[in-house]
Amino acid sequence: MTMPRESFGSKLGFIAAASGSAVGLGNLWKFPYITWENNGGAFVLVYLAAALMLGLPIMMAEIFIGRTAKLSGAPAYKKLGGNKWSKLGYLGAAAGGIILSYYMVIAGWSIRSFFQCLNWSFTGYVQPDSKEFGDFLADSRAQILLTLAFTLVNAFIIFLGVGKGIEKATKIMMPVLVLLMLYLVGTALTMPGRDEAFSMIFSLDFKNMKPEGYLEAVGQAFFSLSLGLGAMVAYGSYMKKSDPIISSAAWVVVLDTLFALLSCVAMFTIILSVPELKEHLSGGTVGMLFITLPELFYTKMPGGLILAPLFFVLVAFAALSSTLSLGEVVTSLLIDRKGWKRSKAVMVSTTFIFTGSIFAALSLGGNQFLSKLNFENTPVLKIFFHNKTGVLSLLDHLAANWLLPVGGLGVTIFVGWFLHSDFLLDKLGLKKSTIGFKLWLWSLRVLAPAAIIILIISVALGKDFS
């Protein structure tokens, strides 16, 4: 006997879950970092254009596939397009599993930072020595336990189901996230770096933008909007037929973009308020998020005692609402493809992905082989892994630079070229083609594939957008 398909309780439920998926470490961490690297303003505008002109149409296409097929991933593609298209669903599930396996490790750090800050807030801040974070990364036991803790919370919520688990959890987490972000930005704006931050983020200076910035914006839009691996197909499959696609997708894109911008405003203001910081900021933002920010909270920011632990609640919630969707991609594939019960699907997928996480968790210094692994001198693999070193970085490069763009390209071809436009109109409940519909198709047929193909060629030629 087949069980009736679960569904979100309302349009709001979908928006909470899907924007929860989109808002994540990519917004808090990657976006400010890439924007900083590209000297701000012009890059932000290019990103906005990419999110609107490519991100929104592809998100609508993914939701369309899920809502129409009432299935997720491979079975959805198979139902609408036949067996050969199901490969796209499997590729997405593989990408979901890969991203999840290393995203969990980073997410786990937020738990540690939360308790560390809680302790500092009560007993007084003691500046850790410069090796402290590196030692933590290399501590295999800590890495595995924290990853496991995050994995179990994620698995438990997914196990509870779409309505009682994912929707309920994200409906609680998203408003908390918004409030915490506004509180963070509000506090940051009292700091002296505010004006400089605004002029850096919002002034249009194309001369200082790196040429790769255009493609970086496309890659970031994919990652940040959770596109290219079927997360939105899965969530779309739990939508009611009457739930609108355009406005739901637009809400997600707007919320995600606002979060990225607010995060940028907060980070830039804090950084630019501390003159000695500007110079030694390169070297990535992990340090910024987990080392520099706590220090600044306690030493430079008003109300830092409260803000510091709360900030890591923000990071943890943002990460968790994203990992839920990644986990659901794999879980729902097993449910829809194999007919398994949710509990069995969660157990199997969690075991599988956690095994992958162990390799990522040990690649930060805990295990020499995994930490030093690279394919720089291996002809074909070098194309897929660039000159990255260590399992975590290798997986990130493979997923963000290859799997998501290739998956996204597949979606544009499937909906833009393969599905008949009469079929699209019919399923969208439109009597005839409107301007919006034509623009959507034009983006899916021409604009988005062209941008993605250029991105993929650049990656194949050795560019790195992770």
Whose Cβ is closer to ligand PFF: residue 26's or residue 41's? 26
Q: What is the nearest approach in angstroms of ligand PFF to the Cβ of residue 376?
A: 26
Q: What is the nearest approach in angstroms of ligand PFF to the Cβ of residue 69?
A: 18
Q: What is the nearest approach in angstroms of ligand PFF to the Cβ of residue 20?
A: 9
Which of 14, 19, 20, 24 is close enough to bind ligand PFF by CB under 6 A? 24
Whose Cβ is closer to ligand PFF: residue 17's or residue 326's? 326
Q: For ligand PFF, which stretch binds (CB under 6 A), given 19-27, 138-146, 210-218, 292-300?
A: 19-27
Does residue 21 touch ligand PFF according to CB under 6 A? Answer: yes
Whose Cβ is closer to ligand PFF: residue 243's or residue 396's? 396
Does residue 110 touch ligand PFF according to CB under 6 A? Answer: no
Q: Which residues contact 287 (CB under 8 A, 6 or more apart)?
A: 133
Whose Cβ is closer to ligand PFF: residue 174's or residue 272's? 174
Residue 227 structure tokens:
């596109």
CA distance 385 to 433: 43
Which of 27, 248, 285, 401 is close enough to bind ligand PFF by CB under 6 A? 27
- What DSSP string runs through 296-338? HHHHTSTTHHHHHHHHHHHHHHHHHHHHHHHHHHHHHHHHHHH
Q: What are phi and psi of 440, to 5 degrees?
A: -60, -50
CA distances from 256 to 20, 226, 325 (A): 9, 10, 15
Which of 7, 101, 269, 325 is close enough to bind ligand PFF by CB under 6 A? 325
Residue 446 structure tokens:
């021409």
Which of 59, 231, 262, 444 is close enough to bind ligand PFF by CB under 6 A? 231
Q: What is the nearest approach in angstroms of ligand PFF to the Cβ of residue 260?
A: 8
CA distance 234 to 414: 16
CA distance 390 to 398: 12
Q: Which amino acid is at 334?
A: L
Q: What is the nearest approach in angstroms of ligand PFF to the Cβ of residue 218?
A: 14
Residue 189 structure tokens:
């704006």
Q: What is the nearest approach in angstroms of ligand PFF to the Cβ of residue 92?
A: 8
Supply angle C-alpha 289, 295, 297, rounded to 5: 85
Whose Cβ is closer to ligand PFF: residue 72's or residue 325's? 325
> Which single residue is written with the structure tokens 């990535």?
284
Does residue 22 touch ligand PFF according to CB under 6 A? Answer: yes
Q: Which residues contact 378 (CB under 8 A, 6 or more apart)?
A: none
Residue 171 structure tokens:
């409906």
Q: Which of residues 169-228 bind ligand PFF (CB under 6 A)?
A: 223-224, 226
Q: What is the nearest approach in angstroms of ligand PFF to the Cβ of residue 28?
A: 8
**Do residues 230 and 403 make contact, with C-beta atoms less than 8 angstroms apart?**
no
End-to-end CA separation in angstroms for the chain? 44
Which of 169, 326, 345, 358 is close enough to bind ligand PFF by CB under 6 A? 326
Q: What is the helix (H) or strand (E) element at residue 112, kind and residue range?
A: helix 86-123
Does residue 251 touch ligand PFF according to CB under 6 A? Answer: no
Total of chain residues touching ligand PFF, rule CB under 6 A? 16
DSSP three-state, residue 281:
coil
Q: Which amino acid is at 274?
A: V
Residue 97 structure tokens:
């599993």
Phi-psi label, residue 228: left if phi above 0, alpha if psi -120 to 50, beta otherwise: left
- What is the C-alpha R_g of the chain? 21
Which of 113, 273, 322, 443 is close enough to bind ligand PFF by CB under 6 A? 322
Does residue 310 touch ligand PFF according to CB under 6 A? Answer: no
**Do residues 231 and 225 make contact, with C-beta atoms less than 8 angstroms apart?**
no
For the chain, the residue count is 466
Q: What is the nearest approach in angstroms of ligand PFF to the Cβ of residue 231?
A: 3
Q: For ligand PFF, which stretch binds (CB under 6 A), given 46-54, 305-313, 322-330, 368-376?
A: 322-330
Question: If you count DSSP H runs as helices and E runs as strands, how many of each does the chain have, helices first?
Answer: 26, 0
Q: For ligand PFF, which stretch binds (CB under 6 A), given 10-18, 25-33, 170-178, 236-244?
A: 25-33
Q: What is the nearest approach in angstroms of ligand PFF to the Cβ of residue 99?
A: 6
Q: What is the nearest approach in angstroms of ligand PFF to the Cβ of residue 220?
A: 9
Which of 59, 200, 229, 333 is close enough to bind ligand PFF by CB under 6 A? 229
Q: What is the nearest approach in angstroms of ligand PFF to the Cβ of residue 319?
A: 7
Interacting residues with ligand PFF (CB under 6 A):
21-22, 24-27, 96, 99, 223-224, 226, 229, 231, 322, 325-326
